[in-house]
Structure 1
Amino acid sequence: MNLNRRNLLLAGAGLALSLASPFGVAAQEKVIRIGALIAASGSTAFMGSSQRETIEMLVDEYNAAGGMTGNKVVLTLYDTEGNGTVAAQQFRRLIDSDQVDVVIGPSTTGESLALMAVANESKVPLVSFAGAESVVNPPTPFVFKVPPTDRIVVKHLLSFMKKRGINSIAVLSSADGYGQAGLTVIKDVADELGVPVMASEEFGPKDTDMTPQVLKVRSSGADALLIWSVNPGPTIILKNAASVGYDKPIFNGYGAASPALIEQAGPAAEGSYVSSMRLLAPQSLAEDDPMRGVVTKLADNYRAKYGKEPTTFIAHPADALSLIAAAVKASGGEVDRVKLAEAMRSGISFAGANGMFNFTDTNHNGLDENSNSMIMLQVKGGEFVVAD
């Protein structure tokens, strides 16, 4: 071998050893690798695009403050387009190729249900943004979620209705993971609270006209209509209901809790109700409520950075990152997949944007009916106002 070439190779090897050594010029930086699966495009982009923006904003904030217990946050984010098959492929890539320590998302229930088995088999903590309680009930070792469960929201809705003298309902739900899981819970809670379901109709997530279903609801004689779907379904139904003169109260679950509901439905949204997390109405929290500062700061920072109003969906990545940060701290700053999951299910509590969290071995959502999560909003004058 040429002597000069040999010396260059040795010099290169020495440099590599120096960089790898804790006593070298640049000791290896402590990091936590977080993967994110977000439906940032496609039919669910109305929620996923704001979630992506929030994740990027908060990762910068964490790193500016020194990371998570001294660990710099390294983010790898993929756009699932709301497709469960794509999400499953990307999840495998995050685990096997990107070597992430924890995954947040996906944005939807259907995607999340598709990943649960893989998360538990691979022993990688997954913090989902799904609504359905079936994601965490029964609890499994490596799967968690941060939005309130559909059961918490349905109880909030039906209890509010009963106080208003509404004693029977009709339901329009989407024929997808979120809608079907929610419908099961609605029927269960309605039976528990003594609220008859007079009609139950489904529609496809891509349907553009639900007039036939609205007419069946009207003929059922139910006191009110409950829509269980994410947009654009609720906006289409509100327009269809207005066009046929449906005059009973209309309620939406939290999947429609977004300014997009008013923007897309226009005058047809007027008077309708939405069960929402507190992010759309920070003023609904008492001045001394520990959630108020969290909710207000998140909304203000998002508004300042992106120049637009936040959606309620940005609370999910904020709370997921808070959970991870608390788990890293509980693990003494050590980043390990199994230890992070163990910490998450071993009694982590914090004030989040979605409620007062208390994660335990039996509650992988960290929320219950007493977590101060939900507020009823009504559309008045083209704006959301607190209804209760």
Structure 2
Amino acid sequence: MGALQRYAVAAVVGLIALSAVENRAFAQIKIGSVLSVTGPASFLGDPEKRTLEIYVDEINAKGGVNGQKLQLVVYDDAGSADNARTFATRLVEEDKVVAMVGGSTTGTTMAMMQIFEEAKIPFISLAGAIQIIEPVRKWVFKTPHTDKMACEKIFADLKKRGLKTIALISGTDAFGKSMRGQCVAVAPKAGITVAIEENYGPRDSDMTPQLTNIRNKAGVQAVVNPGFGQGPAIVTRNFRQLGITLPLYQSHGVASKQFIELAGPAAEGVRLPAAALLIADKLPSGDKQKPVVENYSRTYQTKTGQAVSTFGGHAYDGFMILVEAMQRAKSADSSQIRDEIERTKGYVGTGGIVNMSATDHMGLDLSAFKILEIKGGDWTLVPDT
């Protein structure tokens, strides 16, 4: 072989080697997400999608995870459990994702869980119902506070106010049904009596008859509304139109500025449990969450021009927990990632400080919840004492 040929061969070999190194350095790790970006739960899915896109870009701009870039594969289920199931199957079989962050609603999450369990792919849900993590499923985790915690937090605030007899008006969606069940279950232990129950469907546009029954029920001292979407805003408006002056509590399922906008002036005085994210500027300087929620709020508002909601915060926490697990695992292997998610300790997020374990796939306690009251069209913090 002549010198020129040897040089040419060496050059080709060098280019192949360089290409292999570059491919390893820039190989993409596929992260899946199925969200309710449009449809009745878009107030959940839209900020979740925007959040994931913002932080995938940010992580990739810094070199990715363990030298590999992330590719976000997002499908919009439009709030349909059937769509969610179809897209979950596609993520597993066609897209070959290594992990999943998504599931805007309880209904869509429940429809997808078994698919990811069988595929042995870690699934971090962004939905609220306790059934997602109880009983514990090996491959399923979640970031939001549970509906059981919401009931407990509301009942604790009621007792501080000397109120022990309530009415429940619940949505018939998966989350509304779940939270209603949790509230009924924990009420006796909390010293709360449920004197009357009413419910409404996701397409109902007037809850006046149900609220009239509540108004006419003797002894009721407060009203609690488990639900999400437009229903709680309609309940709130009808509540004021009927002249009911009892304290009204909503769930963390409406913890976004959109609820205040939909309910209008009727939202004044409504209380609900929510994450610290909504009151980032009102947290004391020594609060561990303050830097996290302030940074997320600033980034989200700058990038989108929109106010933050706890729902985007759930996506931020789910994504960051996943990224940190991948960094600790030094791997894109789904099994190793799952193990490291379960080992998450001391993660300071928008929803609280997360400490997971083999028996707790959420990792939040009741201290992660704040009771907020709407005053002057904005969130205010109700002191714990």
| TM-score, normalization by structure 2 | 0.92
* Equivalences for residues 348-367 of structure 1 within 5 A: 348-367=345-364
Which residue does 1:87 correspond to in 2? 84
| Deviation of the 1:72 alpha carbon | 1.2
Map Cα deviations across residues 221-265 of structure 1 (whole Å, 9 max, x no partner): 311000111120111001111121111010001001111111111
Which residue does 2:247 correspond to in 1? 249
**Which of 12, 20, 27 is matched with 2:23 structurally?**
27
| Deviation of the 1:374 alpha carbon | 1.3
Instruction: Name the Cα RMSD after superposition.
Output: 1.8
Matched, 1:182 2:179: yes
Give, in whole Å, the separation in 2 of the partners of 1:23 and 1:32: 18
* Equivalences for residues 216-235 of structure 1 within 5 A: 216-221=213-218, 222-235=220-233
Matched, 1:346 2:343: yes
Contact 1:19 1:25 in 2 (8 A): no
Map Cα deviations across residues 70-107 of structure 1 (whole Å, 9 max, x no partner): 22111111111011100010001011111110011110
| TM-score, normalization by structure 1 | 0.91
Counterparts in 2 of 1:204 and 1:368: CA distance versus 1, 3 Å:
same
Contact 1:69 1:325 in 2 (8 A): no
* Equivalences for residues 286-297 of structure 1 within 5 A: 286-297=284-295
| Deviation of the 1:285 alpha carbon | 3.0
Matched, 1:379 2:377: no
Which residue does 1:132 correspond to in 2? 129
**Which of 318, 321, 334 is matched with 1:320 structurally?**
318
Give, in whole Å, the separation in 1 of the partners of 2:317 and 2:84: 21
Contact 1:18 1:24 in 2 (8 A): no
* Equivalences for residues 267-282 of structure 1 within 5 A: 267-282=265-280
Give, in whole Å, the separation in 2 of the partners of 1:100 and 1:288: 39
Residue 346 of structure 2 aligns to a residue in which SS?
strand
Counterparts in 2 of 1:377 and 1:207: CA distance versus 1, 3 Å:
same
| Deviation of the 1:161 alpha carbon | 0.9
- Match of 2:123, as an amino acid? L
Counterparts in 2 of 1:148 and 1:18: CA distance versus 1, 3 Å:
farther
- Match of 1:239, as an amino acid? R
Give, in whole Å, the separation in 2 of the partners of 1:63 and 1:76: 15
The answer to which of 183-192 and 85-94 deviates more is 183-192
Give, in whole Å, the separation in 2 of the partners of 1:25 and 1:285: 47
Which residue does 2:210 correspond to in 1? 213
The answer to which of 34-43 and 305-314 deviates more is 305-314
**Which of 327, 330, 337 is matched with 1:329 structurally?**
327
Counterparts in 2 of 1:304 and 1:218: CA distance versus 1, 3 Å:
same
- Match of 2:274, as an amino acid? S
Which residue does 1:63 correspond to in 2? 60
Gapped regions of structure 1 (runs ≥ 5): 1-14
Identity among equivalent pairs (%): 32
Residue 201 of structure 1 aligns to a residue in which SS?
strand
Give, in whole Å, the separation in 2 of the partners of 1:148 and 1:68: 28
Runs of at least 4 residues off by over 6 Å: 17-20
Matched, 1:258 2:253: no
- Match of 1:374, as an amino acid? F
Contact 1:42 1:81 in 2 (8 A): yes
Counterparts in 2 of 1:65 and 1:191: CA distance versus 1, 3 Å:
same
Map Cα deviations across residues 148-198 of structure 1 (whole Å, 9 max, x no partner): 111122111110111011111111111111011111110111111110001
Give, in whole Å, the separation in 2 of the partners of 1:297 and 1:350: 15
Map Cα deviations across residues 199-233 of structure 1 (whole Å, 9 max, x no partner): 11111111111111111111223110001111201
- Match of 2:23, as an amino acid? A
Contact 1:357 1:366 in 2 (8 A): yes
Residue 95 of structure 1 aligns to a residue in which SS?
helix
- Match of 2:258, as an amino acid? A
**Which of 108, 111, 117 is matched with 1:111 structurally?**
108
Contact 2:150 2:252 in 1 (8 A): yes
Give, in whole Å, the separation in 2 of the partners of 1:252 and 1:185: 14
Give, in whole Å, the separation in 1 of the partners of 2:71 and 2:341: 20
Counterparts in 2 of 1:21 and 1:27: CA distance versus 1, 3 Å:
farther
- Match of 2:337, as an amino acid? L
Which residue does 1:11 correspond to in 2? none
Q: What is the count of residue pairs matched by the alignment?
A: 371
| Deviation of the 1:321 alpha carbon | 0.9
Which residue does 2:150 correspond to in 1? 153
Residue 196 of structure 2 aligns to a residue in which SS?
strand
Contact 1:59 1:73 in 2 (8 A): yes
Give, in whole Å, the separation in 1 of the partners of 2:103 and 2:44: 11
Counterparts in 2 of 1:197 and 1:330: CA distance versus 1, 3 Å:
same
